[in-house]
Amino acid sequence: MARKSQNNHYKVLIGLPEIEGAVSFHQREINRALKPRLKALEYVAEASKLAEFIGGRLEWLGLREDWAIAKPIFPGVEIYFVFTRANGEAPPSLKVFYSGDRISLMKGDDLSRMALVCINQMLRFVKTTNPGKHLPDICNKV
């Protein structure tokens, strides 16, 4: 999928199924890990500070997202985290995409592990920026 980022350049965003094939073990691994973490991401009040905390930058991709963060992980490879808060019709959602001119050099295992490391770092941000609040248990496990 090609999306125009805030600097008017088109980015090609792909998921692990496009990298590994339709039956992607690593995509299932990410989906399984995301499920208990989604509720905690609802506590992110300032996405720009979250982006700074994980060493990324805030982007707007036009996917009806509440926030999207691009995080460079290797030269020529970025991970995009696209979050949509829960509303009356749908639960919260975090989609993980990849982009960059060297993405074809990466393996799905490496990409999924880097994504999970970044997501756990996001939970640490939630924990440190919400003192005194009753947060989901997963925030105390990372």
What is the C-alpha separation between 30 and 32, in angstroms, rounded?
5
pTM surpassing 0.75?
Answer: yes
Per cent of the chain over pLDDT 90 is 56
Task: Find the DSSP H helices in 1-142.
Answer: 16-20, 25-34, 38-41, 47-53, 108-129
Spell out the domain ranges in the chain: 2-140
What is the C-alpha separation between 36 and 71, in angstroms, rounded?
22
Between residues 91 and 8, the one the model is more confident about: 91
Each residue's pLDDT tens digit, 56-113: 999 998 888 999 999 999 999 999 999 999 988 889 999 999 999 998 888 888 898 9
Each residue's pLDDT tens digit, 38-57: 999 999 999 999 999 999 99
Each residue's pLDDT tens digit, 52-69: 999 999 999 888 899 999
Predicted pLDDT at 59? 94
